[in-house]
Amino acid sequence: MAILSTGPIENSPAGGSRPTQTVTVKIDNSSGTDSSTILIQGYQLNGTRTLYVSELLAIAPNQVITKNYFADVNAFEFVFTTGDAAASATEISVWGKNASGQLVAAHRLVFDELSSSGNDGGGIPFVSNQTNTTLIIPLITPQTVLTAPPITKTSEEESLIINAFADIEVTSTAETSTEPGYTIIFDLLRDTEIVTTVTITKEFAFPFDLTRSFSEYPSISWFDDVPPGTYTYSLLVTVTGVELLEAVVQSRSIIVSKF
């Protein structure tokens, strides 16, 4: 896991408007074989440190992703937590842009200019678990694919944000695979209770039989408003469908942040 930060960026108004209105983040996974994950956290710095961006992304091998975020505030900071096998091959750059979409040179940070930290870069306690070990999951039967270590919320003022994703591959049978279809149910559990679900349903029609593989990347970003206590979060995957041979879960990650 690698943690990078822009550091605090001053963005006070000049001539009636703030220099940077939006921030563009470019992420490049240069690995030709492995996926990576990245948790993007954006903070408004205005006397207090307020989280206003929290997004977990899956970056496929040789993929480049561009994300744009609101930044029309007096000061801000972005923190990036990368993981999985391609963490060391994942590079990030940050580009401030004005209202016309032009680059703001003072708010341009290439990969080598981002600061590295041995913690989460933002002073926010978190627990996490991630792996890229292939796990074959039985069709129809729900399967727990990852569990984060317990985390304790000590006061009502604290909040919990859970970011999770999985790389799921579904393979159709070769004998009768002209019309395969599947439904993937991706559940976030708090202890034994399902708190939110992402469902992906796909149906296909092909002219001839052939074993085919389909990849899906369900993700969850969830603010969990719970009373003080100790909680354990996990991911549950259920795959059902027709003309299916098997389903496997590959890279998956869960990060529980407390702030």
Q: What's the pLDDT tens digit per position in 90-131?
A: 999 999 999 999 999 889 888 877 866 544 434 446 787 878
Q: What is the mean pLDDT of the chain?
A: 88
* Polymer length in residues for the chain: 259
Whether residues 246 and 132 share a domain: the answer is: yes
Whether 200 contacts 241, CB under 8 Å = no
Give the residue-averaged pLDDT of 10-16. 88
Q: Are strands 22-29 and 64-70 parallel, antiparallel or unpaired?
A: antiparallel
Whether residues 78 and 178 share a domain: the answer is: no
Whether residues 113 and 136 share a domain: the answer is: no
Whether residues 220 and 244 share a domain: the answer is: yes
Whether residues 94 and 163 share a domain: the answer is: no
Query: Left, alpha or beta for 191 (phi > 0: left; psi -120 to 50: alpha)?
Result: left
Structure confidence by residue, pLDDT tens digits, 58-100: 888 999 999 999 999 999 999 888 877 788 899 999 999 999 9
Give the residue-averaged pLDDT of 155-164. 86
Q: Up-side HSE of residue 224: CA atoms within 13 Å toward CB?
A: 29
Q: Which long-range contacts (CB under 8 A, 24 or more apart) does 131-135 make?
A: 131/251, 131/252, 132/34, 132/35, 132/84, 132/85, 132/250, 132/251, 134/248, 134/249, 134/250, 135/248, 135/249, 135/250
Whether residues 137 and 96 share a domain: the answer is: no
Per-residue b/e over 113-131, b at no fewer than 16 CB within 10 Å? ebeeeeebbbebebbbbbb
Whether 146 contacts 131, CB under 8 Å = yes
Give the residue-averaged pLDDT of 210-226. 89
Whether residues 18 and 58 share a domain: the answer is: yes
Give the residue-averaged pLDDT of 189-216. 93
pLDDT at 210 over 50: yes
Domain end marker among 117, 149, 174: 117
- Number of separate domains in the chain: 2
CATH classification at residue 135: 2.60.120
CATH classification at residue 104: 2.60.290
Whether residues 133 and 231 share a domain: the answer is: yes
Domain end marker among 90, 117, 144: 117
Whether residues 136 and 252 share a domain: the answer is: yes
Q: Which domain holds residue 133?
A: 126-258
Pair of tokens at residue 242: 């027709």
Whether residues 146 and 224 share a domain: the answer is: yes
Give the residue-averaged pLDDT of 221-243. 94
Q: Up-side HSE of residue 72: CA atoms within 13 Å toward CB?
A: 7
Percent of the chain at pLDDT exceeding 70: 94
Whether residues 46 and 100 share a domain: the answer is: yes
For residues 35 and 60, what is the distance between their CA atoms, to the nearest angstrom? 5
Domain end marker among 93, 117, 141: 117
Whether residues 22 and 53 share a domain: the answer is: yes
